Structure 1
Amino acid sequence: MGQTVNLKQRLAYNYLRDGSTKFLCYGGAGGGGKSWLGCEWLMQCCYFLPGTRWFAGRNNLKDSRASISVTFGKVAQWHGFTGYRLTNDGIEFDNGSEIIFLDLTYYPVKDPLYERFGSLEFTGGWIEEGGQVNGLAFSVLQTRIGRHLNDKYGIPGKILITCNPKKNWLYDLFYKPWKEGTLEDGYAFVQALVQDNPFATEDYIETLRNTNDKVTKERLYFGNWEYDDDPAVLCDYDAICDLFTNEHVKPSGVSSGSADLAMKGRDRFVAGHWKGNVCYIKLDQGYSTGKSIETDLKRMMIECSIPRSMMIADSDGLGNYLESYLNGIKEFHGGKQPINPEFDNLKSECGFKLAELINNRQIRVVCTDAQRERIKKELSVLKQDHIDADTRRKGIISKEKMKEILGFSPDYLDMLIMAMYFRIKPVPKRPKAKLGDI
């Protein structure tokens, strides 16, 4: 079977054919030849390795069948290859090889651990549109490859992941380490832009180049992984980056404090000292006891001149425990009634207020480089819930959903959100018009 590939695809083939790479992430923009590469690679694997079994999966089975089947037909026609047939389950080859279409949808109630893949055995496989797929699917599929005729042919199990930029597990496992030169052994990344694909139509390239949507252009034309295409995201990415360099925001006024409490390694104990809208992260601990939290927080309040009435804390009842020892501090109950009725609860109101201050460059955070990167990640999951429901009150997604997206608890975000308690004010009610005013 002959082949015509662009230079980035050729680089990808080098990884797909070597003996050391197990997981290759290819893409990073629109029109980079991702789907073609995935279909062509699996076609060649099945053709040259009779009897092997491969998977091809997307976020749902309908897309796997429809999208992959169409592209596979184009690739087969290009190569003049006819030794296959499409089935409801995938693609069968005349030599006994097969490609199985997988439904990679995450079912948190029905199948939270992807146990439906537990008995499957594959030679290798392909995750298409990886940005839409839960990271746990990738973790489970790692255990299912290299189990079907790999010893016979002397080949390692491999997974190809094709995607557009997405601030999720792909960013953490592939893009960021690749950018920093710290990719783990067995992992590889190829950045493929539309400009790298000689077969991309000029009309498609012009559409991406001239789009008025900044996020779309940054992600799909420039391949910028730092931009999120989720309309529910409340904080602008550029504003998040400015959060740490807003030197025009000066410390002023009465000191206040906010703390997200956690004991014995359950999440993190994070506390910030606020001087006006400047936040200094003073406490950041992965393991804490009730006594150490009390001692450290009291010391911070004394050193930073934080009045008891201007200190707020929360952590599933720990705030109540702490209030009995530090009499007078505020306990944050995020599920309580908001001050302004347009929100569904107090935490949502504070979350929207935080986003407002960040987007208006009215807030600054002073912290370490490591804390900055973690805060940037956590702010990316400050998202509006039920965004399409015009009749509902404004809300943010649950902490459980944030944890699912991040893979860890958004403790810095919680600390920042709680601090907004001192910054939200009731919306003034308009006076009723008198008869003589009409």
Structure 2
Amino acid sequence: MLQLKPKQLEAVQAVNDPTVDTLVLLGVVGSGKTDVAAHIDLSIAHKFPKTYWPVFRQNISTAIKTIIPSYLEMADKMGLEEGKDFVYNQQAKTITFPKNKSVIVFVEADPTKDRGGKKIKGINASGNHIDEADELEFEMFIQATSRKGRRNENGQPSISIVTMNPNDGWAKELYYDRWKAGTLPPNVRVIEFDLADSWLSRRDIEALKTNPEWWTQRYLYNNWNYSDESSSLFKTRFWASSLTDELDPSAQKSAGYDVARAGTDRSVRALTVGTTIADILIVKDKKDQIDTSIQADTLIEDAGEHEYGLQNLAVDAVGLGVGVVDALSKQGYYVHEYMSGAKPDPNVRLSNDAVMPVNFDNLRSQMIYLYARGIELGVIKHFKGCPYLRELQKEAMVHNYEITDKVLKVESKDKIKKRLGASPDLLDAVIMALYVALRPVQKFSNDADVDSPSGTITGGLLNTRF
């Protein structure tokens, strides 16, 4: 049975206010901002015939894993039965209500795939929902919000529902800062959720409180201007400047693959183009069970599709990862075997003449340092069209570090997992890809091609445990 809390009820009431055409929901993690938006959208589509309601997210691949399941789960909580009250079309990414011909459609707002939002311009909608709006480029956001009020002949409200975290950037300046200053126009309503509104358990909240101070101040206590990130190698300002919409087509591609260690962990492939994080793919999700041999076959197909070559792939060669490495080797493919607890590798660096300012306790600490330092120096970039960037940033920035006797030590994966309630799989896949990307070019005997068309290794062997 769905029970809304006071702030969530306030959001529903705001939609019924004819003077409000933009509703902004922001605040702490786990407060159900997206769930409330889904509840409103589903209610409107179910009640008003011929409603057309797009839900925008920067990447459709991210939407498939996040917001679409939230909508379907909310529909279940509302007592709506799939097949009877609505139909979900996975291919079309639509929730359709056959009885009144209303449609909720999930739309990608990626400027790298839709220059200037030309595809969005063709949408005539009743209203819309922009999820994680702060991830969108401002031009795409404007295009998305401008499409409402075009299919409202049956009395459905014309409103944009914006869910976001007001981090640095246009979203914070446009809504949060003006709201705090009392200068918002009367047509915009901002509702900020706090811990009292969260649907998380007390145990989960207490675990989140162990995150770095800057994170808890922002994401638990709504102190969005807090900027002390001294305990994290990754800084918000450098991350923001690392975003790019360009990829060098001539640059070497590298990949990293973090293999799930438990049923709730994920198997993740990260892809770099040069030193730009270009793509993230979740091969095994939290609830999936996929044999390592099948995961190996998936990597072979993925390497062909994205043209990175398995000789440029690093696989987590600890625990279950050994099964993936062995399955690949049986088919004649040999990869970099990455072991996070191994000794630091002096051959992996940001440039040929770079000298590390400190020592590291293990390879994982070294790679996380190089990742953060590369972002700060502008050497490592993030492609704006890469899925899961916001989640990747969160995983990166919750890692504390300390320097003792000139040895830099980053918090262990186990400690991070206890705090987050999940393994930082995205980050680990990315640093594995960088482990290959930041290595010197491999030289093989006779300068032969490592990854031959037949899938066998010629002229040399790359099967060393690093």
Q: How does the TM-score come out when normalised to structure 1?
A: 0.51
Deviation at residue 160 of structure 1 after TM alignment: 0.6
Corresponding residue for residue 107 of structure 2: 102
State the Cα distance separating 1:17 from its structure 2 match. 1.5
Contact kept in structure 2, 1:208 and 1:220, CA below 8 Å: no
Distance in 2 between residues matched to 1:176 and 1:235, nearest whole Å: 21
1:52, distance to aligned residue in structure 2 (A): 0.7
CA contact (8 A) 1:27 1:193 kept: no
* Residues 1:220 and 2:219 are matched in the alignment: yes
Contact 1:52 1:97 in 2 (8 A): yes
Find the counterpart in structure 1 of residue 68 from structure 2: 69
Partner of 1:210: 210
Partner of 1:25: 24
Matches within 5 A, 1:22-421: 22-82=21-81, 83-87=85-89, 88=91, 89-95=93-99, 96-107=101-112, 111-148=114-151, 150=152, 152-197=153-198, 199-211=199-211, 213-227=212-226, 231-233=234-236, 388=371, 394-395=377-378
Separation of aligned partners in 2, 1:178 and 1:73: 32
Distance 1:393 1:187 in 2: 36
**Shift of the alpha carbon at 1:66?**
2.5
RMSD (CA atoms) = 3.2
Structure 2 unmatched runs, 5+: 240-349, 353-368, 385-466
TM-superposed CA distance for 1:100, in Å, is 0.7
AA at the equivalent of 1:214: E
**Aligned position for 2:7:** 8
Q: Which digits, 9 at most, give the CA deviation of each residue in 1:270-319, with x for residues without a partner?
A: xxxxxxxxxxxxxxxxxxxxxxxxxxxxxxxxxxxxxxxxxxxxxxxxxx
**Cα offset for 1:190?**
0.6
Please report how far the alpha carbon of residue 101 of structure 1 lies from its aligned counterpart in structure 2 after TM superposition.
0.5
The CA deviation at 1:206 is: 0.9
Hey, what's the Cα distance between the residues in 1 that align with 2:375 and 2:222?
35
Distance 2:146 2:157 in 1: 12
How much has 1:187 moved relative to structure 2? 1.0
Larger C-alpha radius of gyration, 1 or 2?
1
1:70 partner letter: P
Kept after mapping to 2: 8 A contact 1:22/1:159 = yes
CA distance in 2, matches of 1:71, 1:155: 22
Q: Which amino acid aligns with 2:203?
A: D
Which SS does the other structure have where 2:142 is aligned? helix
CA deviation vs aligned residue, 1:62-86 (integer Å, no higher than 9, x gap): 1222212211222122222111121
SS of aligned partner of 1:100: strand
Q: Distance in 1 between matches of 2:194 and 2:110?
A: 27
The change in CA–CA distance for 1:343 and 1:68 in structure 2 (over 3 A counts) is: same
* Whole-Å separation in 2 of the counterparts to 1:144 and 1:221: 33
- CA displacement at 1:112 relative to structure 2: 3.4
Deviation at 1:3, TM superposition (A): 4.9
> Secondary structure at 1:54's aligned position in 2?
strand
Relative to structure 1, is the Cα distance of residues 106 and 390 closer, same or farther in structure 2, using a 3 angstrom cutoff?
same
> For 1:216 and 1:64, how far apart are their aligned partners in 2?
24
Does the Cα contact within 8 Å between 2:234 and 2:372 map onto a contact in 1?
no
Residue identity matched to 1:140: Q
Q: Deviations over 1:76-99 (max 9, x none)?
A: 222221111211222111221111
TM-superposition CA deviations, 1:292-348 (whole Å, max 9, x none): xxxxxxxxxxxxxxxxxxxxxxxxxxxxxxxxxxxxxxxxxxxxxxxxxx999xxxx
Cα shift at 1:146: 0.6
Are the equivalent residues in 2 in contact too, given 1:54–1:99 (CA < 8 A)? yes
Task: Give distance in 1, aligned partners of 2:197 and 2:7.
Answer: 7
Amino acid at match of 2:221: F
**Are the aligned partners of 1:128 and 1:161 in contact in 2 as well (CA < 8 Å)?**
yes
Partner of 1:376: none
Report SS of the residue matched to 1:27: strand
Letter in 1 for 2:26: G
CA 1:55–1:10 in structure 2 vs 1: closer, same or farther (change >3 Å)?
same
**Does the 8 Å contact 2:38/2:71 carry over to 1?**
yes
Q: Do the aligned partners of residues 207 and 79 (structure 1) sit closer, same or farther apart at CA in structure 2, a change above 3 Å counting?
A: same
Q: What letter corresponds to residue 394 of structure 1 in structure 2?
A: L
SS at match of 2:179: helix
- Counterpart contact for 1:29–1:220, Cα < 8 Å: yes
CA distance in 1, matches of 2:370, 2:179: 34
Partner of 2:291: none
Q: What is the alpha-carbon distance in structure 2 between the residues aligned to residue 115 and residue 126 of structure 1?
A: 18
Residue type of the alignment partner of 1:127: I
Quote the Cα distance in structure 1 between the aligned partners of 2:102 and 2:171: 29
Cα pair 2:50 2:154 within 8 Å, conserved: no
SS at match of 2:203: helix
**Secondary structure in 2 matching 1:145:** coil
CA deviation map 1:360-382 (0-9, x unaligned): xxxxxxxxxxxxxxxxxxxxxxx
Give the TM-score taking structure 2 as reference length. Answer: 0.48
Cα separation, 2, equivalents of 1:19 and 1:144: 18
Q: How far apart, CA to CA, are the structure 2 residues paired with 1:391 and 1:26?
A: 34
